[in-house]
Amino acid sequence: MKVSRRDFLRGLGAGALGGALASSPLTSALAGPAFVKGLSHRTQKVVVVQFGGATRFSELFGDPSYRYTPFLRELVKRGMMYRELWNRGLTHHVAGTSNILTGNWIMLEDFSYKPPPAPTIFEAFRRQKDAPKTSTWLIPQGANFAPINRSSSPDYGDRFAAANVWGDLAANPVLREVLYELEKQPEQDVRKLVEAQLNRYVKEVNRDPRTRRLYQERVDRAVEMVESLDPELRRFLLSLDRSKVRQAAGRDRANVALAIEAMQKFAPEILHVNLAAPDVAHQGYWSLYVRAIRDTDENLRLIWEAIQNLPQYQGKTTLLVLPECGRNLDWVANGFQHHSLGDEGTRHCGMLIVGPETRPGVVIEREVQHIDVAPTIAHLLGIELPTAKGKVLAEYL
Ligand SMILES: [Zn+2]
């Protein structure tokens, strides 16, 4: 079904008012954007599934048969699709994710290990609602994404950061042992613990200066990761139910298990789960890329089922599904393998929104952008994000 914005707003205004008023002469007078904006939302929680690691529109929302995403094919029928959602900034992972989280075009390179300069939706929520750290969660692809759980803005930053843990922390045996040791004796020196664990695997390190440097970098990074976790998050990582990891699919399975556990234990108001398996495409094998998309579709299903099964989420959660960027078109450079040339394939993303306010099966055709996502989440949750450069997606509201 395709509707114009005006028709859609009229329909939403009438539907939300219920049967009696919907048929009254007042309806057409009231059903303008200003009125619709004033409706109170049933959405209390927002879950963002970044169908990411860069997934191209032609393999996602742009494939009419949804051959790689059978679950998404069903979910699309329940929600509203913004077919023309575009990334107009850097088509990299950290920048793309930061654009979604801040409503600004953030110029951060991957592996820069820096927070974005503009405040994130997490910080705005926590500051305005006086909410605890575990009310907002970022489950990132890995350590290089971890710093974007907050901004470098002086008015926000660490004290309003989102809780963040990721799969490697739970699965990596060195880090896991360090977390166990700290749980037993919290005052121990983290660096010594990391070195002791790493030395079980690397015994000859002192003989070669280059290996020594790599070893030192690995130790530094591990210490940084462990020290960034407060005791509550360390305990959460150690409590991860391993059977849930086995239920999820592919490379992101630990991230999906962590996301579902976080929903069960902390019921965050904002949860951003960053799935990255399709980025295996950098290896250049089409079969690996599409298998990872299938895995991501399966993981999306698990998160959707958690939303339906948990009373804290069921009926009051808006789910957003979108990639942070696409990949190069087949006739540009190496095609699907990479995503940095900024051609249409890397920029055209699309987004699905499913929640208590969405009308099933609606497709919006006008262009919207990644920077519109954060203001829309802010509006849904009743907070302000004045630093965002994007606009609230009014068709949805
Ligand atoms: Zn990539």
Ligand 1 centroid vs 282 CA: distance in angstroms? 6
Separation of alpha carbons 76 and 347, rounded Å: 21
CB neighbour burial string for 99-117, b if at least 16 within 10 angstroms, e if fewer: bbbbbbbbebebeebebbe
pLDDT at position 206, please? 66
Question: Amino acid letter at 180?
Answer: Y
Query: Which residues lie closer than 8 Å to 22 by C-beta, 6 or more apart?
Result: 14, 15
Strand partners, 368: 85
Q: How far is the CA of 24 from the centre of ligand 1 (A)?
A: 53
Q: Which amino acid is at 369?
A: Q
Higher per-residue pLDDT: 17 or 181: 181
Query: What is the percent of the chain where pLDDT is above 90?
Result: 70
What separation in Å is there between the alpha carbon of 85 and the centre of ligand 1?
19
Digit-coded pLDDT (tens) for 125-156: 999 999 999 999 999 988 888 889 999 999 99
- Checking if the pLDDT of 113 tops 70, the result is yes
Q: Is 80 helix (H, G, I), strand (E, B) or coil?
A: strand
CB atoms within 10 A of CB 209: 8
User: Model confidence at 205, in pLDDT bands (50, 70, 90)?
Assistant: low
- How far does residue 146's CA lie from ligand 1's centre (Å)? 16
Ligand 1 mean position, distance from CA 339 (Å): 7
How close is the Cα of 54 to the center of ligand 1, in Å?
Answer: 6
**Strand ranges in the chain using DSSP code E only, listed in sequence order:** 45-51, 80-82, 85-86, 136-139, 163-164, 270-275, 317-322, 351-354, 363-364, 368-369
- State mean pLDDT over 207-220: 85
**Ligand 1 midpoint to CA 101 (Å):** 18
- Residue 279: strand, helix, or coil: helix
Pairwise CA distance, residues 5 & 303, whole Å? 30
CA distance 157 to 102: 13
Architecture of domain 40-164+252-381: 3-Layer(aba) Sandwich (3.40)
Q: Where in the chain is the domain with CATH 3.40.720.10?
A: 40-164+252-381
Q: What's the average model confidence in pLDDT over 92-116? A: 94
Task: Tell which residue, 88, 33, 55, 115, has the closest CA to residue 276.
Answer: 55
**CA dist., res. 103 & res. 81, Å (int):** 19
Residue 380 alpha carbon to ligand 1 centre in Å: 31
Distance 55 CA to ligand 1 centre (A): 9
> Is residue 347 within a helix (H) or strand (E), and if so which, with residue range?
helix 344-347
Tell how far the Cα of 78 is from the centroid of ligand 1, in angstroms: 30
